[in-house]
Structure 1
Amino acid sequence: MHSVERATVAPAGLVALSAPATAAPSIGGEIELKLHDRLEPLESDWRRLEADNLNSLHQSYDWCSAWAKTHDNTLAIVQGCQNGRTVFILPLELVRHGMVRSAQFIGGRFNNINTGLFSTEFRDHATTEDGTVIVRALTRLLAGKADLVNLTNIPLDWRGARHPLVGLPAIENQNHAFQLPLTADFEQTIAQLNGKRRRKKYRSQCRKIEAEGGFDHFIARTGAEKQALLATFFDQKAIRFKAHGIPNVFQSPETQAFFRMLLEVDRGSADTPLELHAIRLKGAHEGKIAAIAGLSRKGDHVICQFGSIDESLVAEASPGELLFWLMIERCCEEGAALFDFGLGDQDYKRRWCTVETIQHDILLPISAAGRIASIAQRGVTRAKAVIKGNPQLYSVIQRMRAHADSAPARSTGPED
């Protein structure tokens, strides 16, 4: 059964659940917020909004639908309407962390960038006051359902545009994201990265693998190829996580089902929620997979969702780095403008990227428990930033988390 609840917003910060306010907001009419517990009634408006290049692919309909179908979380999808037209959607789900119920972006732990879905006109004309009154209506609408609205990993400035909620209290997320701008000319793209050195390394990698029999840049096309390659990725990742004492965030059946479902989506265009690439060896290692990466694309934005390597195969050739070269070259040929390595500060990302994007978390307490949780989370975020700035301490923490991850009972909080 599909339920809808409504709240109306006025510019002075008033919220009414029934009669609309008389004054009009600065962006062209009062805003009505509706709360949905299903995606399907919004699909038409959802796909219209997601077509905007600045809206994250992690808030796309296919991404959120796959997550909702593989997880049992209650949905709390916020639809913002103005003059009878949908101008934004915040795809949220309700997740309990201990005693606190949080409303957070669907699929949050696997999202590299969250923006929500906003129309171009709304984004271009929204003011700080508009964001404030929306938040007041949002917290009123979710009262009794959530203790805290937890909107994480939002770039307040993204590709030259200001986020409509930029004026709200926010804290910098402990993880930054890393991107490489692309041009139609691959040589110009790698020229940003000391192209001469990059080409020399690429030739060296190819020679080392050719000495073992060669390789293919393999892209899974059929359903059987996709599922087999994804299973290999899960195996490779589990081995690597265990070897390095890191908790395996891909181990749960729900997570694996989510990525399997993404592979089944075919938009009939270059856009895809998930495409699998691999280095497939020839010769002595015929058919074996040395490296895997999962790419998503929406518009001109490509995100590397995950990657893995088999450290027992041609490790001296750095097959993971080689795969990035081949994927980025292909993305240039196909007209992409931004290759996104996603969240997390790692050496290989800094070697490839010229852009570092700071993201923020917006925490909106609803209840007393939410206010306490908000204060605690701000402290935890700051502490994590300090820990990640100390590699030795971070390594110890990761080993402790891996040990907890192997225990029979395991909480499923967001990945950090």
Structure 2
Amino acid sequence: MPMAAVIDGPAAAAPAACRIARVEIFSDMQAAEPIWRSLETSAHLFTPYQRFDLQAAWQIHIGASEGVRPLIVVAYDAANEPLLLLPLGLRQQRGMAVACYLGGKHITFNMPLWRRDFAAGAGKAEMDALLRGIQRHVTRVDVLALARQPQSWLGMANPLALLPSQAATNGCPVLRMTPGAAPGDRVSASMRKRLKTKERKYDSVTGYRYLQARSEADITRILDAFFAIKPLRMAEQNLPNVFAEPGVEAFIRDTCAAPRDGGHVIDLHALVCDEEVIAMFAGIADAGRFSMMFNTYTMSENAKYSPGLILMRTIIDTYAEHGVTSLDLGIGGDDYKRMFCKDDEPIFDSFLPLTGRGRLGALGLSSLAHAKRMVKQSPALTQMAQKLRGALQR
């Protein structure tokens, strides 16, 4: 059942054992940038979706136009060293001030940036102290709506899972990869054989090859193809073209071109030939993990031989050879994801009212998310929802 917590009364003093000494709120991302970047190291636990460059680009191109105001929460220890950074944005929703993770629907996973030693031993009292600190320092936030949070990341538990929560609308299929394992342990020998047979069909296609975009020209070519093809593919499924919404294309182009550690903030992978981009995947990489964000494939005859699956196998092998130990294709149980990803990443949501006014709002948000999950888990209800969505799109 949906769960929600409420903080009543004045902010109380944190327990003596609590390592959170104070909480600071930044309403300007540039002011928080030095602290934020200092937490993007191997001594900290975070998903690549919460890197400053990605989040700042989203706020510039999308968040600001949607009326989102940054609400960056930093908790410090007694030595004034940051323990965590929680990247939130404040928006008005049905008459309430709701704080959500920055990035909206364009971000797959949401989590604070944690100092590892703090995250390893953080308890419920410290999470409660974090909430009290937010309540104390913000004039008004009615509800914290913290969606799509992984219960753990790279083998370490997410301390926010200690707060009241509910299972997210969708889980996330994930592929676990053991360093040094044989390729058949990642993608089965039978599937490899089938995909190799399909890939031979491209032997006669001039210039056929796998490409990870490094140059500006390659990035532009792949994204131009994506923005031309994706609307057609989404129309086939009676889906709205979310990539045509204001600011989205600029956000994607900026982050795909922004350099980071030998790659880019968002990396592009493709199967190409001299004539066209046959298939592409865009994803975000970090030490130990690669996460898919968006993809498409050609409308031409070259689509007949499962280029998306061939590209996925190639990406898996590429990252495994570079020491990545887990890979996901995004939240949701699509059939093609299950072909590669046999495990599941538990994902949870928390709807936490901070004011009396926020009680009803948190309950409503929690109930709505719970209802969506019930629909997703029922094939009959899912089919009904798809038909309704298709009718509304006509």
Q: Same fold (TM over 0.5)?
A: yes
Report the Cα offset of residue 14 of structure 1: 6.9
Contact 1:192 1:354 in 2 (8 A): no
Match of 2:210 in 1: 217
Report the Cα offset of residue 401 of structure 1: 3.8
Q: Are 1:385 and 2:373 counterparts?
A: yes
Q: Are 1:158 and 2:147 counterparts?
A: no
The SS at the match of 1:386 is helix
Q: Are 1:350 and 2:338 counterparts?
A: yes
| Aligned-CA RMSD value | 2.3
1:122-151: CA deviation from partner (whole Å, max 9, x where unpaired) = 11221111111211222333342x321111
Match of 2:107 in 1: 111
Contact 1:114 1:152 in 2 (8 A): yes
Match of 1:175 in 2: 170
1:88–1:346 distance in 2 versus 1, CA, 3 Å: same
Residues of 2 paired with 1:59 and 1:383: CA distance?
Answer: 28
Contact 2:47 2:153 in 1 (8 A): no
1:16-415 paired onto structure 2 within 5 Å:
25-28=16-19, 30-52=20-42, 54-71=45-62, 72=64, 73-83=68-78, 84-144=80-140, 146-185=141-180, 188-193=182-187, 195-213=188-206, 215-270=208-263, 272-281=264-273, 286-401=274-389
Residues of 2 paired with 1:306 and 1:94: CA distance?
Answer: 26
Report the Cα offset of residue 339 of structure 1: 1.4
Contact 2:18 2:125 in 1 (8 A): no
Tell me whether 135-144 or 316-325 shows the greater mean CA deviation: 135-144
Residues of 2 paired with 1:404 and 1:148: CA distance?
Answer: 31
Aligned AA (1:105): Y
1:85-136: CA deviation from partner (whole Å, max 9, x where unpaired) = 1111101111233333321111031111111111012112211111112112
1:398–1:95 distance in 2 versus 1, CA, 3 Å: farther
Query: TM-score, normalised to structure 2's length?
Result: 0.89
Residues of 2 paired with 1:242 and 1:159: CA distance?
Answer: 36
Residues of 1 paired with 2:70 and 2:184: CA distance?
Answer: 43
Identity %: 26
Bigger relative contact order (CA 8 A; separation at least 6): 2
Residues of 2 paired with 1:380 and 1:90: CA distance?
Answer: 24
Query: TM-score, normalised to structure 1's length?
Result: 0.84
Residues of 1 paired with 2:86 and 2:392: CA distance?
Answer: 33
Report the Cα offset of residue 363 of structure 1: 1.0
Contact 2:230 2:296 in 1 (8 A): yes
Contact 1:26 1:127 in 2 (8 A): no
How many residues get paired? Answer: 380
Residues of 2 paired with 1:234 and 1:264: CA distance?
Answer: 15
Residues of 1 paired with 2:128 and 2:211: CA distance?
Answer: 49
The SS at the match of 1:225 is helix
Q: 5+ unaligned residues in a row in structure 1: which ranges? A: 1-12, 407-416
1:246–1:262 distance in 2 versus 1, CA, 3 Å: same
The SS at the match of 1:323 is helix
